[in-house]
C-alpha cells in the first residue's frame, strides 16, 4: 500500500496527484515497527507489544517510533496544519480494502464518511460498504492480546486532536471481494470563460486509476 501511495503522489500525469501536491504537504512514515518486522513479526515489536495500542501515552524508551509519530501529529495539530491522519495496515482476515473511522457528531461523521466515499470513487479496489465508523468497533477486544482499540492511532489521536479525518486503512493480504468501475478524472481546461476555469470531462470510459494497492 505504501509503495502504491507514494508512486501515486509523485505521479506526473495524474491530475489528482498534482492537485494533492499543490494543496497539501504530506508527511509519510514508511514503517513504525522496523525491529519487529525485521524479525518476522507483523503485529508486535521485539518486546511482544502491539505498538498500535500505545498512542494514548507512549513511552519514549519503550515505544520510540510511536512517541515520535504522535509528537509530529500533535505539533501539526497545534500549528493548525493537520488535515488528515491515516494509518496503513494489512488485514489477515477481512477481505478487501477499507477504512476504520471513528464515531463522530453528525456533521463530522458526514465529512468523515465522505472522504471514504471519495476513495471508492478513485480506486478500483476500495470497498466503501466494508468500512466501519461504529463505536462498537472501537470497544471490540482483540482476540490475540485482549486489548480494545482505544489506544490505536486513529482513536487516540482523534481524542487528542478532534481531527475529523482520522482513519486506519486496511487492505487484505491476498484478495478483495469487489472492483469499482471508475470514471475518468475531470480536469481543468486552460481555457477560461468569464475568468472562471471550465471543467471538462475526458472521453467516456472507465479509468484505470493509478491509486491502486497491487
pLDDT value of position 189: 52
Is 170 considered catalytic here? yes
Q: Classify residue 36: in a domain, yes or no.
A: yes
pLDDT value of position 82: 97
Residue 15's domain comprises 2-201
Q: pLDDT tens digit string along 101-110?
A: 999 999 999 9
The span from the CA of 48 to the CA of 145, in Å, is: 10
pLDDT value of position 192: 47
Residue 80 CB contacts under 8 Å (≥ 6 apart), including other chains: none
pLDDT value of position 77: 98
> Which residues of the chain register pLDDT less than 70?
185-214
pLDDT value of position 186: 63
Q: Classify residue 211: in a domain, yes or no.
A: no
162 three-class SS: coil
Q: Classify residue 207: in a domain, yes or no.
A: no
pTM, full prediction: 0.81
Q: pLDDT tens digit string along 109-140?
A: 999 999 999 999 989 999 999 999 999 888 87
CATH of the domain at 134: 3.40.630.10
Q: Classify residue 134: in a domain, yes or no.
A: yes
Q: Classify residue 33: in a domain, yes or no.
A: yes
pLDDT value of position 188: 57
The span from the CA of 183 to the CA of 5, in Å, is: 20
- Quote the DSSP letter at residue 206: B
Between strands 186-193 and 196-201, the pairing is antiparallel
Which position among 75, 170, 203, 204 bears the catalytic label? 170
The span from the CA of 150 to the CA of 184, in Å, is: 39
Q: Classify residue 8: in a domain, yes or no.
A: yes
As for how many domains the chain has, the answer is 1
Backbone torsions φ then ψ of 171, nearest 5 degrees = -140, 125
Task: Provide the grid cell at 63.
Answer: 515505544
Amino acid at each position: 500500500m505504501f509503495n502504491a501511495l507514494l508512486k501515486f503522489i509523485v505521479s506526473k500525469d495524474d491530475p489528482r496527484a498534482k492537485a494533492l501536491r499543490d494543496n497539501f504537504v504530506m508527511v509519510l512514515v514508511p514503517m513504525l515497527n522496523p525491529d519487529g518486522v525485521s524479525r518476522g513479526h507483523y503485529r508486535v515489536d521485539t518486546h511482544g507489544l502491539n505498538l498500535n495500542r500505545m498512542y494514548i501515552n507512549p513511552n519514549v524508551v519503550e515505544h520510540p517510533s510511536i512517541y515520535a509519530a504522535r509528537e509530529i501529529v500533535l505539533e501539526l495539530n497545534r500549528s493548525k496544519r493537520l488535515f488528515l491522519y491515516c494509518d496503513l495496515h494489512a488485514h489477515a482476515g477481512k477481505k478487501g480494502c477499507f477504512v476504520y473511522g471513528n464515531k463522530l457528531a453528525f456533521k463530522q461523521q458526514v465529512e468523515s464518511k465522505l472522504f471514504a466515499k471519495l476513495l471508492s470513487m478513485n480506486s478500483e479496489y476500495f470497498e466503501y460498504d466494508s468500512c466501519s465508523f461504529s463505536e462498537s468497533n472501537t470497544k471490540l477486544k482483540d482476540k490475540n492480546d485482549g486489548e480494545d482499540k482505544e489506544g490505536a492511532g486513529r482513536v487516540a489521536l482523534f481524542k487528542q486532536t478532534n481531527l475529523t479525518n482520522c482513519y486506519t486503512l486496511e487492505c487484505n493480504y491476498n484478495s478483495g471481494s469487489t472492483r469499482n468501475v471508475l470514471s475518468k478524472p475531470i480536469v481543468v481546461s486552460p481555457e477560461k470563460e468569464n475568468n472562471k476555469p471550465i471543467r471538462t470531462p475526458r472521453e467516456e470510459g472507465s479509468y484505470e486509476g493509478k491509486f491502486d494497492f497491487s
